[in-house]
A and B are shown apart, each in its own frame.
Chain A
């Protein structure tokens, strides 16, 4: 689960991670009170709050440029906020549809001495948390890792002991910090790790982390995501979920325990198992088609789930055909077939439907499909199924 920058900053504050002063506003009426709570004079940064990167270089659909703006005065900040709010921001990460801005974050602008990078995430190779720091901040860290790997420093933390002072000191020394900057950086790393661990975060990224001419070390930006598996024990984190940032189809799917992700293509798929669902998308592409979604109905799909899945798939106006691919290991193929027939009938399905069933009770399942009186194209293998649906929607 992802959260907004302003929510991440609120968590930072709670755990003692130093940030520039900032206040969020979720309605236009909150703009002026928010601005008056900030320092009386001095410039302000106005930041659109959406769950996507590249905001600064983004453009709004009405032509207004920049999702993050530097305002010299409060009056200018208010003007920028009014332009951004309820406007749709398109960035390199949002896709052409962009995202509507439902919240604005105002922060006091601060003098930057130098920009750094700091992140905490899971190191999959060691199955332990890793803290990553770099002297190259404010740029894409993947690029730094590729071009100048010697400028990236890592410390792996033993989960049985947790973060020790020497871990944080080692990183601060490697970043070349001294005096107050050094002390403040160590403090910030320790606080950030505490937040990462206590909130079940998957990743905490501060890019850039900055030093100021007065020796402060501040998290200028914040990107935080959480482990979905741990949300059951973090109600305070789950409360930060913003449904505006999620595809309505994905929200609906999660109610039925379906794992659904919308994509750009026109062939919808309904599959059991994540690996099979991913490779069903791949094989559609391989035969020249384009998948409209990822949809895993899970290992024990019921008739209700299959029907719900069909409804969700069909709310996507781009969908021109459906491919059902079920390997019924334990799941009864006939249960799936019955669900498919019921859904196709209830929804008055008009677009081509190809069904590939294999496994447990497959003969009965195929019989249910063929005797339904509906136009359902049956396929024996994944390759056969993918070729058929690609041809039917062409």
Chain B
């Protein structure tokens, strides 16, 4: 099994006719993901074509869902219009929205999160690489790839990866796959200060998933979501967990690329988060090259198999 999405998940793409959305829709189709619809207001009735695929485009998310049975959306809409697209998907009753868009005003996301209260839709992102549940084919083809992650570096297996950063997730996945260790699901929760799904939300799902045997948690400076997750792990999670925190050398008060990656007080520094990880029994990767090895150490200590 996997968490959140499976190879059967039916996906619609908001912003499918844009350059960015189109390029990644093609890669997802090649990966075997069931992209069943596109939504671009004003382009309803047209088709998104790629090889033998012919994906129908609709004017509204509601229409796309009614006709294709999509339950999940990938949002590639430009920043000024992304909040609108997310809320359209929420109102249309989607189970999950994965917002890839980078640069959405924080105020928009504050309002989106408030509007999503009490609704069934889960939001992942924004400003995230998306989610991958690897498939069983060559280079993990046949899985579900929603977003912009390179599908081919994955391998179907039993390690869950959750991260705020795209390229660091790829780094961890690549190290695992190179070691012959596959992944159940890899989730990029995004680098913005206001996001839909937290480290802890994902870790709880990994903990409940019998097919996930070990977990890699990748965090960075800013906020205290990693510390919150670490405390929960200490109290509730028996599975081996490895962690890495980026930004030990970041100067205080400067935004390091990600809108959320800024050191405010003493508690959101890399050092404070690493200390919390250690205190909570998480095996800390000393460098980003050590992420897979750290999980292997943690698994060995608990006598747990990872593959």
Contact = CB atoms under 8 A, between A and B. Distances in A.
A186 interface: no
Interface of B: 24, 27, 79-80, 103-107, 109-111, 113-115, 148-150, 153, 163-171, 174, 191, 193-194, 218, 220-221, 223-225, 244, 246-251, 253-261, 265-266, 270, 286-290
Contacts of A311: none
Contact of B249 (A122, A276, A281): A281
Interface of A: 93, 122, 124-125, 127-129, 142, 145-146, 158-160, 197, 200, 202, 227-230, 232-233, 259, 261, 263, 271-286, 291, 294, 296, 299, 327, 329-330, 358-360, 381-384, 386
A128 B110 contact: yes
A327 B170 contact: yes
A125 B228 CA distance: 10
Contacts of A286: 286-287
Contacts, number: 167
Given A122-B106, A275-B167, A282-B248, A329 B153 contact: yes
Contacts of B287: 279, 282-283, 286, 382-383, 386
16 contacts: A93-B253, A124-B260, A127-B194, A142-B265, A159-B110, A229-B103, A229-B104, A229-B259, A271-B167, A272-B167, A274-B258, A275-B166, A277-B256, A278-B256, A329-B148, A359-B150
Contact of A122 (B170, B191, B194, B253): B194
B80 A273 contact: no
Contact of B218 (A146, A275, A296, A383): A275
B220 A278 contact: yes
Nearest to B268: A124
A122 B150 CA distance: 33
Given A278-B249, A299-B148, A382-B171, 11 more contacts: A122-B106, A124-B194, A127-B113, A160-B115, A233-B80, A279-B288, A282-B247, A294-B257, A327-B167, A330-B24, A359-B174
A285 B288 contact: no
Nearest to B117: A160
A122 B265 contact: no
Contacts of B258: 274-275
A233 B261 CA distance: 23
Given A283-B287, A291-B249, A275 B163 contact: yes
B153 A227 contact: no
B105 A227 contact: yes
Contact of B27 (A129, A230, A279, A330): A330
Contacts of B260: 124
A203 to B, nearest CB: 9
B254 A285 contact: no
B105 A230 contact: yes
Contacts of B167: 271-273, 275-276, 327, 329
A229 B106 contact: yes
Q: Which of B104, B167, B266 has the most CB of A within 10 A?
A: B167
B144 to A, nearest CB: 17
A281 B24 CA distance: 30
